[in-house]
Structure 1
């Protein structure tokens, strides 16, 4: 035989490919059998898969599924209970499989029990639609509704609805807490992340709001709500180049859904694109769906006024007044429009259906109760005050802090506490915020950043809640702080503020006439020095405060009579003459 024939003969040896007999092999064979409706073979292969991987719950569930298809419900349930009790209790879908089997066996009470376990414990909700159909069946068969505490897979949606309600009510800190928890549980819940960015914005936390909205756009670049929110954030943080690029994109977008049209229109108006904004507002008014909303006519009027279409603006504000006769907003802007026509005022750019912030302050100075009620009731007004707390000038911030003290709810307290630890805020403003917090009865420990250092302020006295903080009270406090500057640390200054609030709370409403404010300020320093065992002389106090020793003595005695400082300090020296 030639060498070539010998080589050919050798090459004819069979090439054997070994079959790997593992769980995957038998799973694939089972699936093939299922495709041919060979249930007996499929069951045999799934049993083999279980033998190779007994700790894999999926193999057991597959086997239970085949048994159920074959009508062997009891055997299927035995397997499913074994998965839950011995292999993986987190396989909550097994409860749904059990419920399905029990329903097929007409054991409806057992089916109900298993279905409730599924709904209340399953996070993913894979069989939620089927479960709701089964609930209807059980309602019919048992002649009563099934009691369910919660549907686990929908908890985030329920929580999101609650957060939206809080946002609409102006309770931004509470909404933030819920939304952050939702996102931690479900990072891909973009609506919640969008609203979280909005809540940060309402609280004046720009960097966090922009960062959060960008996270939404990374996941869904065309998300219209996120794009609109980002445009407003860019404008208020003076990021003009980024805003211009974004507006080019928005102006090329034509939203269809009314909610999206409204969002686009208000956004374009807020950032100064009045012509495009008015075009979208007109689209909404023509459809009729929102034509009965006074706020929509107000927005359209603002856009028209900025386009010098004053007759059109007047028509819209008059229509808003007709729809909402009790609101001061349309009347205010109709008066403003007359000034705009005469060239005395610029067209308003306030795309919110409430009075401008400056007008709210003017009303507050006339009647504090008006703004107090508005702050409690109107989330947009609340948001404007929180905004001013972060971004107003110093005088505005002082007024905002005092105004928020009138409301004194948890949202306000949280905002003022957050203000105290902001390194970028003025230390004097923080003293006002501390004073307001103490005056409204906040007695817990306060953390304050002064001169770049975090200080802890313990509450040493309990004060009753005071009414509106009086300007004279504040003036005395400011004078005392100025006189103590450089001589007392921030904790000692805080004790002086607490003493002043404590005194006023004890004597209110019979507060004596505070005509000699410097004398009161000197008396406050006197008692602060005594409380901290610091040496202070009358000569020094008279020199620095420019008042007589007799005045200081008199006011110090009045403070002591109300607060009992001498007794608390166990001072044995006689009282002032």
Structure 2
């Protein structure tokens, strides 16, 4: 009998099943010894034993924050905000996490909420200090206390960041325009030039990629991103000698920046230089010992060097941090088999460079999902109730690039309508990489199952509290498209506060209509432009109507007509 033994003298069964308080105290003991992994496991056991106990949840979140896994910590804390008796410490923890993630507007909101909830609380001075630090970071006073003028260098940095974001989305024309604008403003800005080199590499324009990298290296021979770009370009050109010459230079760098160490390790792995990459990965792990990407790269290098025990330990660490991480479980088993001498046939590599299972395992899992989806409704419900296999497969499936698969899995998860399903959907809303369209579907499913509000989600990289879920889904496609178009345009150059104001404006406008009138495509675009213009104005900005019209491709007349439609909403707000 699991966790129990029979007392022969009385015939009764004595249970050894410990209550949550036991594991909570054990977690405290491990935390005092700075054993974060064991502390996390103990606190998680306490949370599982007594899921309604907020202190166990807060303790789990605190350890995850110590590990710098702030998004994971937020997933534990945010559901507590829907409780009327939410502990103020949970609110403070969210404020700290959001500040660490540089989401300053949301951080300030949470910290101010904490101060209102517990004006004499344990963390009031920490909250005030953090608010002051955020304000100091946001504002740069001039000689007489006024805000300093925007410098040319600042404009160049803003353009470079705009270009980087566009490059991440593979919007190459927009990326090139922004990066070249940044370089024109500040020709010494290597950050922009390196990303321009990377853009040319992505477009397979290797000569121009090398030219930009060489320009950077002429100014700074030790620039790691330029050396990485150069190594990758030569590798793509099958010029091993020059690729390895750049890699040799990378191995000699003494950088301790995590982003640079990460970039160097990837380049060395791509060149098959696992011994060198292993040394870099070790340095990286000293700085980010709980990061899944860092642990994964370290483990790949260890495996390739036949240090199977170290590879196994890295994945075991990830499994203990997140028991639902089936990617780590897959590789942990692979390393365990290697320790036993059971290598894959032909000793072929079985690792994906990014944090994902390899292709053959992806196919196997998708086939298994299809098998389960073919079950009758009763059989599928039984599978969900009696096993966590389907939940783990769905969580993994959410990491796939195919939106059709993710949409199907989201629908399947919502159909069960229980607490596990609710938790899965709430977690989905907080996955930054998920499409806004799918998040709207998740909100609708949560509302349909009666899940307690508010719902928290990331829209265009900003944390948003949603209490208007039925409006979002009741609005027809044209109105939803207007909001999406507006946020997509604002993403490049607007603040988090301005984006949230835009969402609020849209919500108030849609909610004020007894019946939404049909609008044409041109009116849809004009509405998006009007929402951005009004949101930026409400936040104290002075947007140019001409610039807004050019950005959206609408006439001034159409913009004015759309602004008139928003006027009752803005006038009501002023009252």
Q: How high is the TM-score relative to the length of structure 2?
A: 0.36
Q: How high is the TM-score relative to the length of structure 1?
A: 0.36
